[in-house]
């Protein structure tokens, strides 16, 4: 399944989720109305419940339009308000989920070898997939499990239990992390977050019933034989608890129905990513062999059970409520030759490997001597688009080579909030000596002294970086930048703007860097992606013209690039109007902001047009590749690194 189809299916499943939600709410209204009607009938007339005639006719007589309307309004209010409250809670993205589960964010400069190993794996996977590097949280649980949570790749986090990083080898961790990246790339993660909000309102009814029952402990019963107030409150609490259990049943049924099939796709994508079925397969075997399996002790685990790599909550006899397929089925799909036994080697082998975090791969992987210096050809962009959502082994090797090519001092600095800001400032320093001196003079007055000191320390090395290492460095620094407070983030952006505006103009790279940082640190537009590409012709024309000018100097070549791009669009590209200025980066920002709301399947045509535009000349310049990937990131379409023109295997359609 290609990236755009997966995204579209996830979007359509949101509608399917709404239908299931409506059916569940209707069922709750019926159950609640019936339960309250019976309770009122039993307590009517001041008679003891045991002496009341419980008949269909008697219950029907207690039913009224006022009661039905009142119950409907009450249930809808609880469900809607509960869902909105949860949605507001989850606004910050995956961090909220990780913290609710008791997770601790791993320090980017940790000296714990197990933690360092999982950070290395996540960084490699993120750069290979073309997504921002997510923050990594550890859950102090002995079971083997993991999760991805967030609304979009730029607010995603990866969570991992202590048991997983302690007992899994590097290859097995790669398989698990690749599985979680599949959920990030295919839209499952966002769907899962919506599911949490939607179901919270239903579960809230049960929580309300429990509160009412607990309040009975503090109520003094009395007031005479005809005082039924205590019984009424008790009955109300019982009714709400019963309805709450019904809500839990419907909620779990919806969760299991939505999530099971997506696990098979994520497993298949992990194999495609790593080209190593034994990695994820053996991780699943270890879950089956572990005494605690994938089960979590965290109190909030049931609420987030559909987010995890393995079944996080113990099941009863019935498998109806399982959020994950049976382990044996998952293992057999990725390792058809598996003998069916849950036997694993541990924990000594994993512990020994943790002493050498980068074991299992070459120290300096290369691609036939052309790792970073290769010229990208016309096929590079098309290959990258076909690999969106399902990168392969070559992308992983490229990511490893890229990280190895970055100087150790720079990599260490990217993991520290003060130094990470300094690295971004250094990337914005002009090559012109006079402009650079003006930038430093301005920044010295505004930047924090410690950050300015880090800038002076690292600027010479950053200015010498290969142009192809700039984008990976930004991606690597994002987790540290995300840890900034709101005030620190605002000050950081102010300093960047001063550096960019120092010479009175905004270069394409300055715009690219600023937009990438802003897209990952700023508030996101949550409006639905429901616009048609044909309604945004002016925005398409402006974006493609900027891309064409980034790679061509000859006006005729620019025109030819636009013609090539036009062939991928469902409309003709008109000539630029006088108000269209390709050097106006603010107009470009507004254009991309609108284009990000295009429907997923129509974004495919836009991405193909962008690719045709930059590959028209037969080779792709680094500036074109950077702009192409950053705009794709802003559009919600993360593109893996563009590789040299070598044949790649077709992405697997398994799952």
Q: What is the pLDDT of residues 420-438, one digit of tens each?
A: 999 999 999 998 889 999 9
Strands 146-149 and 135-139: unpaired
User: Are 177 and 129 contacting, i.e. CB atoms less than 8 angstroms apart?
Assistant: no
Most confident listed range (155-169, 183-197, 223-237, 374-388): 155-169
Q: Which residue has the tokens 């099939």?
A: 261
Residues 541, 516, 427, CA angle at the centre, nearest 5°? 115
Q: Is the dihedral of CA 544, 548, 549, 551 positive or negative?
A: positive
Average pLDDT over residues 409-419: 93
Q: What percent of the chain has pLDDT over 70?
A: 78
- In this prediction, residue 133 has a pLDDT band, given cuts at 50, 70 and 90, of very high
Lowest mean pLDDT among 4-18, 239-253, 613-627: 4-18
Q: What is the pLDDT of residue 72?
A: 87
Residue 440 confidence (pLDDT) above 60: yes
Q: What is the pLDDT of residue 379?
A: 77
Say which DSSP state 619 is in.
Answer: E
Lowest mean pLDDT among 49-63, 95-109, 164-178, 179-193: 49-63
pTM of the model: 0.81
The residues that are catalytic are: 180
Count CA atoms within 13 Å of residue 79 on its CB side. 25
Q: What is the pLDDT of residue 365?
A: 38
Average pLDDT over residues 536-556: 86
Q: Which residue has the tokens 């961090």?
A: 95
Q: How would you classify residue 274: left for phi > 0, otherwise alpha for psi between -120 and 50, otherwise beta?
A: alpha
Lowest mean pLDDT among 261-275, 310-324, 356-370, 553-567: 356-370
Residue 560 confidence (pLDDT) above 80: yes
Domain boundaries, the chain: 3-93+192-253, 95-184+267-353, 387-506
- In this prediction, residue 187 has a pLDDT band, given cuts at 50, 70 and 90, of confident
Q: Which residue has the tokens 């609490």?
A: 237
Instruction: Write out the two tokens for 355.
Output: 């002493």
Say which CATH topology domain 95-184+267-353 has: Zincin-like (3.30.2010)
Q: What is the pLDDT of residue 526?
A: 65
Cα(147)–Cα(142) distance, rounded to whole angstroms? 15
Q: What is the pLDDT of residue 50?
A: 43
Residue 648 confidence (pLDDT) above 50: no
- The per-residue pLDDT for range 211-225, each reduced to its tens digit, is 655 555 555 545 544
Residue 229 confidence (pLDDT) above 60: no
Average pLDDT over residues 17-36: 77
Q: What is the pLDDT of residue 98?
A: 94
Strands 157-161 and 146-149: antiparallel
Most confident listed range (6-20, 100-114, 594-608, 623-637): 100-114
User: Are 255 and 188 contacting, i.e. CB atoms less than 8 angstroms apart?
Assistant: no
Q: What is the pLDDT of residue 49?
A: 45
Cα(477)–Cα(490) distance, rounded to whole angstroms? 17
Cα(213)–Cα(219) distance, rounded to whole angstroms? 10
Could you report how far apart the first and last alpha carbons of the chain are, in Å?
8
User: With b meaning 16 or more CB within 10 Å and e meaning fewer, what string describes 344-382?
Assistant: beeeeebeebbeebbeeeeeebeeeeebeebebbbbbbe
Lowest mean pLDDT among 40-54, 530-544, 587-601: 40-54
Instruction: Write out the two tokens for 570.
Output: 């469902």
Average pLDDT over residues 459-484: 90
Average pLDDT over residues 312-319: 70
User: Are 414 and 476 contacting, i.e. CB atoms less than 8 angstroms apart?
Assistant: yes
Strands 157-161 and 135-139: parallel
Q: What is the pLDDT of residue 361?
A: 47
User: With b meaning 16 or more CB within 10 Å and e meaning fewer, what string describes 526-560?
Assistant: eeebebebeebebbbbbbbbbbbbbbbeeeeebeb
Q: What is the pLDDT of residue 70?
A: 86
Average pLDDT over residues 329-348: 82
Residue 645 confidence (pLDDT) above 90: no
- In this prediction, residue 357 has a pLDDT band, given cuts at 50, 70 and 90, of very low
Q: How many C-beta atoms surround the C-beta of residue 637 within 10 A?
A: 25
């Amino acid at each position: 399944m290609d990236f755009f189809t997966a995204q579209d299916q996830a979007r359509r499943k949101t509608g399917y989720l709404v239908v299931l939600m409506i059916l569940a709410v209707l069922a709750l209204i019926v159950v609640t109305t019936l339960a309250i009607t019976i309770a009122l009938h039993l307590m009517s007339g001041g008679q003891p419940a045991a002496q009341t005639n419980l008949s269909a006719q008697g219950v029907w007589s207690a039913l009224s339009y006022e009661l039905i309307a009142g119950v409907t309004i009450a249930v809808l209010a609880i469900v809607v308000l509960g869902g909105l409250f949860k949605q507001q809670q989850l606004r910050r993205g995956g961090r909220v989920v990780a913290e609710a589960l008791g997770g601790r964010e791993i320090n980017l400069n940790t000296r714990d070898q197990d933690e360092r190993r999982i950070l290395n794996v996540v960084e490699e996977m993120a750069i290979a997939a073309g997504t921002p590097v997510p923050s990594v949280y550890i859950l102090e649980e002995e079971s083997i499990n993991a999760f991805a949570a967030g609304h979009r790749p730029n607010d995603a986090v990866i969570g991992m239990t202590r048991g997983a990083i302690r007992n899994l080898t590097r290859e097995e961790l790669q398989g698990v992390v690749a599985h979680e990246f599949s959920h990030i790339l295919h839209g499952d993660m966002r769907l899962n977050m919506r599911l949490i909000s939607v179901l919270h309102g239903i579960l809230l009814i049960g929580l309300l019933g429990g509160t009412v029952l607990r309040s009975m402990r503090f109520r003094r019963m009395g007031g005479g034989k005809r005082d039924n107030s205590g019984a009424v409150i008790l009955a109300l609490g019982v009714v709400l608890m019963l309805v709450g259990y019904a809500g839990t049943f419907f909620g779990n049924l919806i969760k299991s129905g939505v999530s099971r099939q997506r696990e098979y796709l994520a497993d298949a994508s992990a194999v495609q990513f790593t080209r190593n079925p034994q990695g994820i397969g053996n991780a699943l075997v270890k879950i089956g062999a572990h005494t605690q399996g994938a089960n979590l002790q965290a109190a909030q685990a049931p609420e987030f059970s559909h987010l995890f790599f393995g079944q996080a909550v113990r099941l009863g006899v019935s498998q109806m409520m399982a959020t994950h397929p049976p382990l044996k089925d998952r293992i057999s799909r990725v390792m058809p030759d598996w003998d069916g036994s849950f036997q694993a080697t541990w924990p000594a082998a994993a512990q020994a490997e943790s002493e050498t975090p980068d074991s299992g791969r070459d120290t300096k992987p290369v691609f036939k001597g052309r790792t970073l210096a290769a010229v990208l050809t016309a096929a590079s962009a098309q290959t990258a688009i076909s690999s969106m959502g399902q990168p392969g082994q070559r992308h992983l090797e490229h990511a490893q080579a890229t990280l190895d090519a970055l100087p150790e001092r720079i990599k260490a600095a990217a993991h520290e909030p003060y130094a990470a800001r300094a690295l971004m400032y250094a990337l914005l320093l002009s090559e012109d000596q006079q402009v650079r001196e003006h930038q430093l003079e301005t920044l010295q007055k505004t930047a924090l002294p410690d950050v300015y000191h880090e800038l002076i320390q690292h600027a010479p090395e950053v200015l010498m970086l290969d142009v192809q290492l700039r984008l990976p460095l930004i991606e690597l620094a994002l987790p540290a930048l995300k840890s900034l407070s709101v005030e620190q983030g605002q000050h950081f952006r102010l300093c960047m703007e001063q550096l960019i505006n120092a010479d009175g103009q905004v270069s394409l790279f300055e715009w690219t860097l600023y937009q990438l940082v802003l897209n990952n640190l700023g508030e996101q537009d949550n409006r639905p992606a429901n616009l048609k590409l044909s309604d945004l012709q002016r925005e398409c024309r402006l974006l493609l013209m900027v891309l064409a000018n980034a790679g061509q100097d000859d006006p005729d070549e620019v025109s030819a690039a636009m013609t090539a791009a036009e062939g991928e669009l469902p409309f003709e590209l008109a000539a630029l109007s006088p108000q269209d200025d390709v050097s106006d980066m603010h107009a470009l920002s507004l254009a991309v902001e609108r284009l990000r709301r295009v429907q997923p399947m129509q974004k495919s045509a836009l991405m193909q047009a962008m690719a045709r535009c930059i590959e028209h000349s037969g080779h792709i310049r680094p500036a074109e590749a950077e702009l192409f990937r950053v705009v794709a990131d802003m559009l919600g379409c993360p593109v893996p690194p563009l590789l040299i023109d070598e044949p790649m295997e077709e992405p697997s359609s398994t799952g």
